[in-house]
Amino acid sequence: MIWDSSVFEFIRKGGIFMYPILLCSIVGLSIFLQKMWVLRVKKILPEEFLKQFYEFLSQGRIGEALVLSRSNDSSIARIATVALENACKTKEELREDIESAGRREVQELERYIEGLGAISNVSTLLGLLGTISGMIKIFRVISEQPIVDPPSLAGGISEALYTTAFGLLVAIPTFIAYKYTMGKAESLVVGLEEEGRRIMEEVINANEKAVKSREVLR
């Protein structure tokens, strides 16, 4: 109860700009948690799937590799599915299809991350706006009272200091979260690109072997 009342008092003293800053903190935390759930290695580049997938391709079991990729809900599996479904196309066409699928996955990985950077900036600016609002109140009191009573300045001073502090309190960890998630997404994107190229080569080789096998049987 004491903690609850102190938080409420902190927000009340900060004035109206505390509420949008509070909203920024909630949205920023939600985005961060969502990205932490999405940016998991097993969600993007599951090791077991890749091991089984390449094993199927090396054995020429293209149909089983396709079934495996379709049943796996990961970014690289969706790219592998596109590669297998377009395996009969030319190398250039296949590369374009894989790159297009890769771009879609990258877009999904990086979605909302820039929002964290925006929230960090907005929180800082809202804190600054609250500071200016508090200073305006202080100067209004000074201009209206021939003899200034210090307690009458308390409201403006509180608003100026509390909003600045709260804005930075939200902005700093949000910026750290932004840099962390961006770095994690970029490392996963590099992994996707490398595996995408390998999948293309493996699919082409497996398809060529299958064609040669059919020709031999004839």
Q: pLDDT tens digits, residue range 34-93?
A: 999 989 888 899 999 999 999 988 888 888 989 999 999 999 999 999 999 988 888 888
The DSSP code for 28 is H
What is residue 62's predicted lDDT score, i.e. its pLDDT?
Answer: 85
| Residue 1 pLDDT class (50, 70, 90 cuts) | very low
Backbone phi and psi for residue 91, each to the nearest 5 degrees, phi listed first: -60, -40
Q: Structurally, how many domains does the chain consist of? A: 1
* 213 within domain boundaries: yes
Q: pLDDT tens digits, residue range 96-118?
A: 999 999 999 999 899 899 999 99
Per the structure, the complete domain to which residue 114 belongs is given by 20-217
Q: Which two tokens stand for residue 33?
A: 């948690």
Rounded distance between C-alpha atoms, residue 125 and residue 147, angstroms = 33
Q: How many CB atoms lie within 10 A of CB 143?
A: 9
Average per-residue pLDDT for the chain: 84
